[in-house]
Amino acid sequence: MFEPGMIIQNRYEIIEEVGSGGMSVVYKAKCHVLNRYVAIKVLKPEFADDKSFVSKFRIEAQSAAGLSHPNIVNVYDVGEENGFHYIVMELVEGITLKEYIQQNGRLPYTTALNFITQICSGIEAAHEHHTIHRDIKPQNIIVSKNGTLKVTDFGIAKAATSNTIASSAMGSVHYISPEQARGGYSDERSDIYSLGITLYEMLTGRVPFEGENNVTVALMHIQSEIIPPREYYPDIPVGIERIVLKATQKKPERRYLTTSAMLADLKKIALDPNANVGITNAMVSDSAPTIQISEDELAAINNAAGSQSGISVFPVQPQKRNSELEEANQALESLYQDEDADYEDDEESDEDDEELFDDKDDKDALDPKMEKLITVGAIAATVLIAIIIIVAIVSISGIGKKKPNTTETATTTEAVADTMISVVNMDEAAAIDALDKAGIAYELEREYSDTFEEGKVISQSIEEGTKFNDGDRVKLIISKGQEMTDVPDVTGKTSEEAQTILKAAGFEVEIDEEYDEETEEGKVISQSPAGDGQAAKKSTVTIVVSKGEEVKVVEVPDLKKMTIKEAEKALTDVNLKLGTVNQEYSDTVKEGKVISQSIKAGVEIKEGEEVSITISKGKQQATTQQSAGTYTATFSGTIDNSSYSFPEGGLVKVIVKLQADGVTHTLIDNMYDEAALPLDGSSFGSVSGITDKSSVSLVYSVQDANGNDITSSFSSSLQASLKAE
């Protein structure tokens, strides 16, 4: 294969290998002619040696190169280098849809809807250019980094022969249509089946059929019914499930006939997830052309199918679809009310027909040319009979004549419409008026809706554009608005209790948090909407949960060299309190100025805390001088209540003491009520006969009626001054 550094066609420089699949290896390369990075997909040698395969591969790769669409990987060039065949493509940075699903699990339906709409848009563009992909699967879809999906592998898909399905395209069988599984060629509707399986996997995170080998899975596509996605996940909207089930019908005629039709329904679902889409055609035909698988696998499928269900599966020769037959089928569709009954009858007929041709070695088998003539004749006869029946029924039943409404009727003389109009999202009165003018009978039902206003049409039972019989009746679902329900009062409950109660009542819950001094942390302060009122079911109730009392912190200011008053003001400015004021001699700090503080400057503490200070008494005199005389202490300042809440009639005990010469002098030891505060220090009297000035200190304490120390709830600016006697 190619190696990094190789130059291909004097133009493409191989940078690195970026991926490998069943049939090819992909390299990142640089185009030196256009100065851009590209991806080069190289066929593996086992396929490059197959001349027939290579021929088909080149033709289809060139066909894919003619496609230009935002959701298709652009093909720039096709070539050969040293016997290796390659395709030069747009380089898309991203991962495959398969890897995306493996990483994320089942996708939200909105994401799946966005993805499948992009994929369908790309496939629609290919079908418009008469290019069938034939191998649509998540492995062939790239999710780019910007969210754009790109479909790739058009060339290899169509060129793939029987050996690719048997050996190298193991993933493909999980997405293969029943007609491909039987053997034959496929058309646009086969791609639509694979699109349906891909959407199924996005919605559920799984493929609908799993088996031990390719044959088992192929048989499931032919014989087994798909389990509806909503049986796995009821949250999937009804409308998108209907699209999946229609796209994956066993018979091609029951699927969407074009990707454009599927896209139209996808767009309706984007507006209304529960829209009435995906109605299956009643009439089916078993003459749909099918594609060729390997003979060994086809034989295995035939044998297994025969042993399991009594049905033989055999290749059908390709035939062109007859447009007249399709028109006849569509017209006859209105004659049959029970689709399932018709489908079962068709299957019983299929079994009989297939048993007739099951033995390939039957010596009495018809000559192929004769068989072709009989087939063409049968089709022509069917068309003729269908047209005769239609004409007869039209003549007898008078299709086209107006029948008045039997439920909530409105009379008009205009002719009956032959196809259904759309009245979804119209006001009830306007919708009824439109149906009456079109001569369409109707009946009304009413349902609650979270998305449609009261009085709007939510859905209609007959899809827009659908042909219907005279006498058919369309059912309109009218919105009753949002269903209202009582809102429980959860104030005062814990957050967990409130959420449990509200969710049990059918509401979504959103939580906000606030500080609150009065409500305990973790409990509900308030709610919106308020409790005991009403709100729309499934709407959101916002609860505000307490974070408790807000703790505010402030920095302690630097109080050094301030006076007591200056220090007290500095503390008050930042919502702190002055605590105990002590005194010391200082040789460096002037008398009356702060020497130190109990909490260092710059430290963060809770608002309202106290900071004590030590005031300088000035320089200490010599001992001989200190002891020579005696002194008298007088007092100034106050004791004040900062934060204590007095109980009714309550008292506090205030104790003030002076220590001097090793002796304690009690200045105050009394009970006071709230009115007696603040206490003025000048009323404490004086203490005489102090002989050692250096040992004087002043302390105070406050106790409640029970003897508990509550000093921290009071502040003091008391100080003693000594004068020689």
Residue 407's domain is classified under what CATH number?
A: 3.30.10.20
Instruction: Mark whether 292 and 410 lie in a shared domain.
Output: no
- Percentage above 70 pLDDT, the chain: 77
Same domain, 249 and 348: yes
Say if residue 517 is in the same domain as residue 420: no
**Residue 413 vs residue 657, higher pLDDT:** 657
- In the predicted model, is pLDDT for residue 628 greater than 60? no
**606 by DSSP, 3-state: which?**
strand
Q: Is residue 343 part of a domain?
A: yes
pLDDT at 390: 66
pLDDT in the model for residue 159: 47
> Among the listed ranges 20-29, 233-242, 517-526, which one has the minimum average pLDDT value?
20-29
For residue 714, being part of any structural domain is answered with yes
pLDDT, average across residues 132-138: 91
Q: Which residues, listed in sequence order, are joined to residue 553 by a DSSP beta bridge?
A: 606
Measure Cα distances from 275 to 103, 260, 463, 476, 581 in Å: 30, 17, 9, 12, 81
With a cut of 80, say whether residue 274 has pLDDT above it.
Answer: yes
Distances (CA, A) of 278 to 39, 107, 240: 38, 21, 8
- CATH code of the domain containing 38: 3.30.200.20
* Separate counts of helices (H) and strands (E) for the chain: 20, 31
For residues 313 and 420, membership in a common domain is answered with no
Looking at residue 450, its pLDDT comes to: 80
Model pLDDT, residue 509: 92
CATH number of the domain to which 637 belongs: 2.60.40
Asked, for residue 358, whether it belongs to a domain, the answer is: yes
The least confident of 35-44, 368-377, 627-636 is: 368-377
Q: Does some domain include residue 249?
A: yes
| pLDDT higher at 4 or 415 | 4
The CATH number of whichever domain residue 317 belongs to comes to 1.10.510.10
Contact criterion met (CB below 8 Å) for 182 and 316:
yes
Number of domains in the chain: 5
Higher pLDDT: 329 or 435? It is 435
Total count of residues recorded for the chain: 725
Q: Considering the chain, what is the average pLDDT of its residues?
A: 79
Residue 221 included in any domain? yes
Same-domain check for residues 465 and 502? no
Residues 360 and 424 in one domain: no
Q: Which residues contact 406 (CB under 8 A, 6 or more apart)?
A: 441, 473
Say what the pLDDT of residue 398 is. 45
Q: Express each pLDDT in 532-576 by its tens digit.
A: 888 888 889 999 999 888 888 899 999 999 999 999 999 999 999
Look at residue 295 in the predicted model and tell me its pLDDT: 54
End-to-end Cα, the chain, rounded Å: 115
Give the pLDDT score at 640: 92
pLDDT of the residue at 304: 54
Domain that holds residue 84: 7-90
**Predicted TM-score (pTM) of this structure:** 0.43
pLDDT of residue 331: 37
Q: Residues with Cβ < 8 Å from 173, sequence gap 6 or more?
A: 165, 181, 214, 217, 218, 221
**Within a domain: 556:** no
Percent of the chain predicted with pLDDT > 90: 43
Residues 453 and 488 in one domain: no
| Neighbouring residues of 95: CB distance < 8 A, sequence distance ≥ 6 | 103, 142, 143
Query: Directed axis angle between helix 109-128 and helix 259-271, to 10°?
Result: 150
Measured at the CA of 421, the angle between CA 419 and CA 422, to 5 degrees, comes to 145
Task: Quote the pLDDT of residue 166.
Answer: 36
pLDDT, position 247: 96
Which of these three, 309, 343, 365, is where a domain ends?
365
Q: Are 286 and 406 members of one domain?
A: no
Tokens representing 591 are 């008398």
Asked whether the predicted pLDDT for residue 287 surpasses 70, the reply is no
* Res 284: pLDDT: 37
- Residue 386's pLDDT is 67
The yes-or-no verdict on residue 419 having pLDDT over 70 is yes
298 within a domain of the structure (yes/no): yes
Mark whether 243 and 316 lie in a shared domain: yes
pLDDT in tens, 291-349: 334 555 555 555 554 444 333 333 333 333 334 334 434 433 433 333 333 333 433 33
Asked whether residue 475 falls in the same domain as residue 489, the answer is: no
Last residue of a domain, one of 341, 365, 389: 365
49: closest CA among 85, 1, 10?
A: 85
Answer whether residue 310 is part of any domain.
yes
Rounded CA-CA distance 457/420 in Å is 15
* Same domain, yes or no: 310 and 180: yes
Lowest mean pLDDT among 134-148, 322-336, 425-439, 462-476: 322-336
The arithmetic mean of pLDDT across residues 453-470, rounded, is 87
Q: Name the domain boundary from 526, 546, 566.
A: 546
Looking at the annotation, which residues are catalytic?
135
Do residues 179 and 190 touch, judged by C-beta distance below 8 A? Answer: yes
In this model, does residue 202 exceed pLDDT 80?
A: yes
Is the same domain home to 437 and 499? Answer: no
User: Of 17-21, 283-287, 452-456, where does mean pLDDT reach its minimum?
Assistant: 283-287
